[in-house]
Amino acid sequence: MVDLYPNNPVSWFAVGCYYLMVGHKNEHARRYLSKATTLERTYGPAWIAYGHSFAVESEHDQAMAAYFTAAQLMKGCHLPMLYIGLEYGLTNNSKLAERFFSQALSIAPEDPFVMHEVGVVAFQNGEWKTSEKWFLDALEKIKAIGSEVFIYIYIYIYFLLILFTTSWCCFK
């Protein structure tokens, strides 16, 4: 793609995503994603992927900087808010994580991933009933989507484990 369309940021974005997916190639991914954002500074998906390349290495500040850039460029999209919230959660700042998850939820109230993360923050804060409600709501959304997508099956099983843990903590 890069050979055929060297001036198209999507070409460089695709190669950057490839390197993100093959694992342990984050430097390569960043090189290509940086090229995509250089060609088009307003290409939000490249900024999100660029943030992911730092997030997988626990480089929270750099990941958040990329996600904040994406948030400025992708107004109306909940994903940058979700990822900023995830990074804040990973740095043990649950209040800011909760704030960004709330923003993501206001944009995409039906997204099970956002619901799950709101449940995680509630769980970490010891709000067992609230976390259970969010996990169950997320499960219902996933069930409504159907079983044709394999990843949702994995997430469903993951949520069941979380619910089991939540129930065990609440009622022991």
Q: Distance between CA atoms of 61 and 84, rounded to whole angstroms? A: 10
Handedness of CA 132, 110, 43, 73 (dihedral sign): negative
pLDDT recorded at residue 114 = 95
pLDDT recorded at residue 167 = 40
Give the pLDDT mean for 99-124.
94
Query: Does 47 have pLDDT greater than 60?
Result: yes
Give the residue carrying structure tokens 């923050």: 121
Counting residues of the chain whose pLDDT is more than 70, the rounded percentage is 84
Equal CATH topology for 1-75 and 98-171: yes
What confidence tier does 129 reach under pLDDT thresholds 50, 70, 90?
very high
pLDDT recorded at residue 21 = 83
What confidence tier does 7 reach under pLDDT thresholds 50, 70, 90?
confident
Q: Which CATH number fits domain 1-75: 3.30.1330.60, 1.25.40.10, 1.20.1250.20, 1.10.3720.10?
A: 1.25.40.10
- What's the predicted TM-score (pTM) here? 0.81
Fold of 98-171: 1.25.40
Give the pLDDT mean for 121-138.
92
Extents of the domains making up the chain: 1-75, 98-171
Helices (H), the chain: 9-22, 26-39, 44-55, 60-73, 79-90, 94-107, 112-124, 128-145, 150-171
Q: Distance between CA atoms of 93 and 91, rounded to whole angstroms? A: 6
Average pLDDT score over the chain = 85
What confidence tier does 97 reach under pLDDT thresholds 50, 70, 90?
very high
**Alpha carbons within 13 A on the beta-carbon side of 7:** 0
- State phi, psi for 141 to the nearest 5 degrees: -65, -40
The residues, any chain, with a CB within 8 Å of residue 131's CB and separated by 6 or more, are 119, 120, 122, 123, 166
pLDDT recorded at residue 106 = 96
Give the pLDDT mean for 66-91.
94
Task: Please tell me the least confidently modeled range out of 2-11, 36-45, 111-120.
Answer: 2-11
For the range 96-100, what are the long-range contacts, defined as Cβ-Cβ under 8 Å and sequence gap of 24 or more? 97/121
Q: How far is CA 148 from CA 61, 113, 114, in A?
A: 36, 17, 21
Q: Distance between CA atoms of 149 and 116, rounded to whole angstroms? A: 18
pLDDT recorded at residue 151 = 66
Q: Contact 88/100 with Cβ under 8 angstroms?
A: yes
5 vs 66, higher pLDDT: 66
